[in-house]
Amino acid sequence: MSTNTTETNIENNDEEVLEDEKSKKSSQLNNVLRLLISVVAFICLIKFGKVNINDAVKYLLKVDPVYFILAFLSYQATMFLSAIRSHSSSRALGFRKKYLQLLQLNFIGTFFNNFLPTTFGGDAVRGYYLKRGSDLPIKKAIACIFYERYTGMIVLFWCASITFILQNLGLIG
């Protein structure tokens, strides 16, 4: 009986190893396909888009590096803050995504917002990935994305209002 049990355990372990190898190969294939699709999309964007690469490079070289770095760091800071907001709102609705997963979702959503015709595309992708892997209804993912958009708009409104008031008071130029 113990020999039978040992043989069964060995067979089960072999099956698990085979499944792990299949999973790794499938994951590697998916990554290669994603990279290939991204490269093709980027080439199509350059070739068929209305962007003149020479002009873009010329203007990019004229940019003051200090301002470019400040703008880049400011944008990254907003992405990290947005991920904090996403984390708190998704937790409140029952999603159990980690902070870094939500940060990734923000970058993915931003990518799709920039390359799809409307900003709705990035939100749809973020909602899909937020919902994926959970048994919560899609309504909660939609509510989470809506809440994030709403609070972002409120924060933007208040920042613009404060800046407008400070400018009218002569405190900023």
Q: Which value, in Å, is the radius of gyration of the alpha carbons in the chain?
A: 24
So what's the pLDDT on residue 11?
A: 58
CA distances from 167 to 70, 164, 172 (A): 22, 5, 5
Q: Rounded to whole angstroms, how far apart are CA atoms 37 and 163?
A: 42
pTM, rounded to two decimals: 0.64
Q: Count CA within 13 A, CB hemisphere, residue 117.
A: 0
So what's the pLDDT on residue 152?
A: 86
So what's the pLDDT on residue 102?
A: 93
Cβ-based neighbour number of residue 57 at 10 Å = 10
Q: Rounded to whole angstroms, how far apart are CA atoms 79 and 126?
A: 14
So what's the pLDDT on residue 100?
A: 95
DSSP 2-68: HHHHHHHHHHHHHHHHHHHHHHHHHHHHHHHHHHHHHHHHHHHHHHHSS--HHHHHHHHHHS-HHHH
So what's the pLDDT on residue 158?
A: 94
Closest CA to 146 of 67, 89, 87, 100: 89
So what's the pLDDT on residue 36?
A: 87
Q: Rounded to whole angstroms, how far apart are CA atoms 86 and 92?
A: 10
Would you give per-residue pLDDT tens digits along the chain (173 residues)? 555 555 555 556 666 667 778 788 888 888 888 888 878 877 877 777 777 778 888 988 999 999 999 999 999 999 999 999 999 999 999 999 999 999 999 998 888 887 776 767 888 888 888 998 888 999 999 999 998 889 889 989 999 999 999 999 988 87
So what's the pLDDT on residue 9?
A: 57
Cβ-based neighbour number of residue 141 at 10 Å = 23
- Cβ-contact 142, 125 below 8 angstroms: no
Token pair in block for residue 157 = 């409104």
